Every structure is written in structure tokens, then in C-alpha cells.
Amino acid sequence: MSKTYFTADTHFGHANIIRYADRPWMNPETDLVPNPTDSARLMWASPLIAQQCVEKMDRELVERWNRVVGQDDLVYHLGDFCFGDKVATFLRYFKQLNGRIVLIKGNHDKLAWANRQSFYAYHDSYLEIKIDGQDITLCHYALRVFNKCHYGAWHLYGHSHGSLADDPNALAIDVGVDCHNFKPISFEEVATIMARKKFKPIDHHGE
């Protein structure tokens, strides 16, 4: 039986996301050096090191994805799939991944959106679905309120790379890879997380 998964913010091919999101595919002591034009940020010690690190990241992301996702499984990818400007770059990542992938467009999806016909389905940043009677709002960006939130609906988002504090009083979570051991998270895993939360209204809905 096929399963449903959710993920976001893979950023295949994007070396700088390793620095920005502090991903584990670098050694800050040897791979980074002070940035002479921006003292608040470090920079790659060399283009070669950046390329080696992003290749490590890409290999591991593909391996972790395929370790949990089967060929017939459905994966909702909530944006920021990959970086690059060539069709061959997109296809190199896309063809390695198991499952039927539905793209919810993110703000860094110029290449993926240009090749959106390759996906099982695609939507421009927002989608509402229902699985086993559960209403779910999917969006690349975190929403404070969403459709049927006061009736038990869930909201899944990406974009923030785990930097947005989780709200125990909102049935919403970041499904980006930075929050879930760099792999897609199943519908059942999401349900377990949501069961630990308790909705509290922040506007007139649910009062």
C-alpha cells in the first residue's frame, strides 16, 4: 500500500544553504573563512570546498529520501526543490528520487517551476487537501490562520528551515528537511506530532 509523505527545502545543488541553515555537510573550522565584506557571515574557503560539500549534501539527501519513500508513494514537496539554471541540473536530482512528487512552489523554485510538467502535479505556493478525512493546508510559507483551523485542520509549511519557533497551540508544523533528519515525513508521523498539540484560537475563529 502506498504512503503519503511531506517535505520541503531540499535545496539540491545549493552550497550556501549548508552555511545558512548550518547543515552537517561542512566543517566550519576548515571549510569556512571570515568574509572580508560582511563580518557577520563566514564564507567558503574555496569554490572547490563548496562544491565538495554540496555534493555530499545532495548524495545524502537523495539517499535519505529513497530510504523511506517507495516508488508508488506520494510526496508533497512544499517548495525550494533545487538550485541551478539548466534542465539537466533539475533532471539530475529529480530522476534520482522515488515517489510521485507534487510540487508546491517555493520562492526559490525558478528552475523547478520551469520544469513543473515533470512533477506528478504542481501548485503555485498553496494547496488544500484531505487525507483519511483530515483537512490539510499546504503552503511554502507559515500561516498564522488557515482554512478550518478551528475545526482541527492541519497546516504544513516550509521556508523557515526550523528557525521559526514551533507553536504547541497551533496544528501546524514545519515539514522542511532541516526539521526532520533531512528526509520526508510521513502522514502518520505528522499525525503523531499533531496529537501532542492543542489548538487555541488567536482570532475570532474558535472562540
| Residues 6+ positions from 8 with CB-CB distance below 8 Å | 77, 78, 79, 80, 104, 106, 140, 157, 158, 159, 174, 175, 176, 177
Looking at the structure, give the CATH architecture of the domain made up of residues 4-195. 4-Layer Sandwich (3.60)
Domain ranges of the chain: 4-195
pLDDT of residue 202: 78
- With H, G, I as helix, E, B as strand and everything else as coil, classify residue 165: coil
- Mean pLDDT of all residues in 158-162: 96
The pairing of strands 100-104 and 121-123 is parallel
Residue 134 · residue 193 · CB < 8 Å? no
Contacts of 66 (CB under 8 A, 6+ apart): 96, 97, 98
What per-residue string of b and e applies to 29-54 under the rule 16 or more CB within 10 Å gives b? eebbeeeeeeeeeeebeeeebbebbb
Predicted confidence band at 166 (pLDDT cuts at 50, 70, 90)?
very high
pLDDT in tens, 103-152: 999 999 999 999 999 999 999 999 999 999 999 999 999 999 999 999 99
CB atoms within 10 A of CB 127: 19
Q: How confident is the model at residue 74 (pLDDT cuts 50, 70, 90)?
A: very high
Q: What pLDDT, in 10s, does the model give residues 17-51? A: 999 999 999 998 899 999 888 877 888 989 999 99
Dmax (CA) of the chain? 56
**Residue 206 clears pLDDT 90, i.e. is over it:** no
The mean pLDDT value of the chain amounts to 95
What does the pLDDT read at residue 78?
A: 98
Cell numbers at residue 141, please?
510559507
**Residue 93 contacts residue 75 (beta carbons within 8 Å):** no
Counting residues of the chain whose pLDDT is more than 70, the rounded percentage is 100
Instruction: Report whether pLDDT(205) > 90.
Output: no
pLDDT > 90: percent of the chain: 87
